[in-house]
Structure 1
């Protein structure tokens, strides 16, 4: 199953990120604003040996008639956004549209682009759509929810095997199968994917993917040679008093992201001017926020209105640590099934300790809500976000806490089209007025876990109605929605709103079928 060897990219430049491969030429292109979206050039496919292109560029660039735009289009194949190749029948329901859309969002191994920054995968997979032309890690779990409703167990298995392949090859699941994503991951949903598959195929699935779950856990828990002193960190691990270990988001590079190059350079310059912080530290915070999937949100800012105050790596996120608890519990059960009783007990203890830590470090008694924790400032962050519902999803909250969270959801997040992500409007896409499918599902399921069915049903009614309204108006499923004013489109962020859209499709189908 895992014997597939990914072909090296064009002309043997295997697994080299484009900014490293093309050097100053890459910088010149990204700073030239040839493309509206920085990701476009990062995804371009060289038509000739990159070494030849670089040499030719440096030879010609100072000639009077040289045109960089023309040069790039002559030496690279420009990727197109993924759009549905059919116009949906106006008589189709939203569900019928989604079922017809899966094939257009599915990539087969033999049809994958070769060359450039794409890392080919051994099995078929579903992409989100639009500018997102590759498989994304945490997106895929929510996409799988819908695939399950459509009986596409084969595609779920293929996608999980792709992630297992990536773990076997790189030691972790990158953000997506691009070389420029190899230095970071995304919220660790692999154990949830394995659980989902096991619901269909039995507990043997936990044993089957035990080696990959263990290796992913080792990636997130890599403490290097750190001393373990209180309130110190190494990569994604943070040491706290009394031997408590929690996780943060991180990226192993501290340079501008290739897929958002000019935006990162501009933001770092602003941060250096206003906050006397080094550019490489800003890049690290930006990249860590990208690993979180919440790119970007005031959640990561010291000042909610100032992007340049970003401080992601100082923050312990509540949702990440709930996901890590799930991974520990799943490892424990897999080891028990494998009759490895010492390992079972080890991970049961780790899960218990993390459960206690979630209570101690993320529950804010003054707000009666789960908050992120800044371990540098040794205090809760100021940002109240929908991430605080993750303890309900993973059943880590006490009953009284769940009641407080439900009240928070109703008073602070619920709007006419679903749930806000945060309560502040900053121009960032993971802030008001936007709502996102994965967080609607996490909250919906969390409410149901604690028998708040009335609130959960109100939420699902509002979200499904908004999806259906926008589909009827546009014929499209969107990446995100404006849940405050359902007559307006969502906005904000580094790129235009995308259509497709994998996780919206998946959550819609699962939520719709649960209401029947």
Structure 2
């Protein structure tokens, strides 16, 4: 039979839905280190074969995992057996890209970032192991983070937008769309051990960035994917009752409204932080499954870890993430609902547009009811078990302002508290607690600087926004001048000290720092610090 081009095209289109149906099953067949290696994985992690717990989950097995496990069982009790030597014989260590990149002190910080984009770019390949292949190029954060990350990527895109890297923005949006279509949601990152959780849902905001570059029709094109992403977060909402008020990421509030929490489907140690989680569970004296769930849910939040999740505001052993209604998560979902409403308007579907508008309004009203504390005039996370706000002040409070969810009076109250309690010489501090966790004082993070600055600009608090931007940009530039690096996080309280805390050392690179800094410099050009060569050239 002779096929014309049109016939072949129609044939491929008919096969496409079948392809999409098969792909999730294929995802289930991907290598999952903890599951596929069993006791070998546990022994490698608990014996601290590698300094960084993330190293072994990122290794690529050189043969079938079942065969490797069989060989391990045969050899482990033999005299002279050394576990690390066995691992190095049967696994390929995660690659450290040999870029040959060196910092040139003659380059300005903006030139440095422009030179870094290719260094942080990964091209599509089937590297094997736990890495989930993606169809297009993407930016990684840097350092130990060798894969794409969900919410990081929005802030990275802000810088790519300034660099006019529209194709790369498009590629990254298409990668996330691919993940939605194949695994049903956007995971924490493109690793199989991240599949059970997501991260703060910034996909709708990524579409806004792409629409700024390519036109509003972008929203229509990606409407099916955003709907599926929304369904992931809202799964089970229709089953909630007063007697059974929770299911995965949805919670029915006492007044019948629906809000969201962070969650993870696997109550077990994180493969990439295995020994840390096991030790924490043992030290806490709590039900291990309970603490593993709360640890993983906090990892989904992106704030891993922060005292905002701790029952006593101090110790990670009291972590209670799944009992909390986070103000930032529900603000992001409010924006997702408004974006879906706009997409429905573009499609001419008035009924669907009204439905999403109603959902967004109900969510906004619920956030104002449950997350707002009238006594403190501030937004907090809400503990739906205790039926009270946590009263732990954090920068998550600015999210309702970022999305214009409140009137000017409450916005002014939030701005006043941020100015009086959070403003530091290097920007704004994440929380007011010095807990030793990386998402607490004295650390500041690029994404939260951006959200805070834009939140205050929305309400005309320009002086405060400008001060935060100035403090943050100058800190970034000063550290770059001294070290030649842009860091994952910064100490915004004592500018002579590095940021610290958390499960791993401060990383450099760094995707979202680069993106936010480049965007802020494009909006505040007066903060651009000349290199010695540029200053000399101007004098001439």
Q: TM-score, normalised by structure 1?
A: 0.96
1:227 positional shift: 3.8
Residue 76 of structure 2 is aligned to residue 61 of structure 1: yes
1:389-412 superposed Cα distances (whole Å, 9 cap, x missing partner): 111100112101111111111111
1:80 positional shift: 3.9
> 2:529: which partner in 1?
none
> 1:478: which partner in 2?
487
For the 8 Å contact 1:478–1:501, the answer to whether it is kept is yes
1:255-334 aligned at under 5 Å gives the runs 255-272=268-285, 277-334=286-343
> 1:458: which partner in 2?
467
Q: Residues of 1 paired with 2:411 and 2:275: CA distance?
A: 43
Q: Residues of 2 paired with 1:296 and 1:14: CA distance?
A: 31
Q: Residues of 1 paired with 2:336 and 2:326: CA distance?
A: 16
Instruction: Give 1:223's match in structure 2, choosing from 225, 236, 239.
Output: 236
1:185-224 superposed Cα distances (whole Å, 9 cap, x missing partner): 0000000000111112111111100000000100000117
Q: Residues of 1 paired with 2:144 and 2:449: CA distance?
A: 23
Uncovered stretches (5+) of structure 1, i.e. residues with no partner: none
For the 8 Å contact 2:139–2:148, the answer to whether it is kept is yes
Q: Residues of 1 paired with 2:183 and 2:333: CA distance?
A: 19
Residue 51 of structure 2 is aligned to residue 36 of structure 1: yes
1:482-493 aligned at under 5 Å gives the runs 482-493=491-502
Change (3 A) 1:395 1:84: farther
1:271 positional shift: 1.6
For the 8 Å contact 2:240–2:246, the answer to whether it is kept is no
For the 8 Å contact 1:477–1:500, the answer to whether it is kept is yes
> 1:336: which partner in 2?
345
1:163 positional shift: 0.2
1:58-207 aligned at under 5 Å gives the runs 58-81=73-96, 85-109=100-124, 112=125, 114-207=127-220
Change (3 A) 1:49 1:385: same
Instruction: Give 2:262's match in structure 1, choosing from 238, 244, 249.
Output: 249
For the 8 Å contact 1:301–1:311, the answer to whether it is kept is yes
1:267-287 superposed Cα distances (whole Å, 9 cap, x missing partner): 011122xxxx31001000000
1:515 positional shift: 1.0
Change (3 A) 1:84 1:299: farther
Q: Residues of 2 paired with 1:303 and 1:358: CA distance?
A: 23
Instruction: Give 1:511's match in structure 2, choosing from 491, 500, 520.
Output: 520
Cα RMSD over matched residues?
1.9
1:114 positional shift: 1.9
Residue 409 of structure 2 is aligned to residue 394 of structure 1: no
Uncovered stretches (5+) of structure 2, i.e. residues with no partner: 1-12, 526-540
1:15 positional shift: 2.1
Structure of larger gyration radius: 2
Indicate the SS of the match to 1:242.
coil
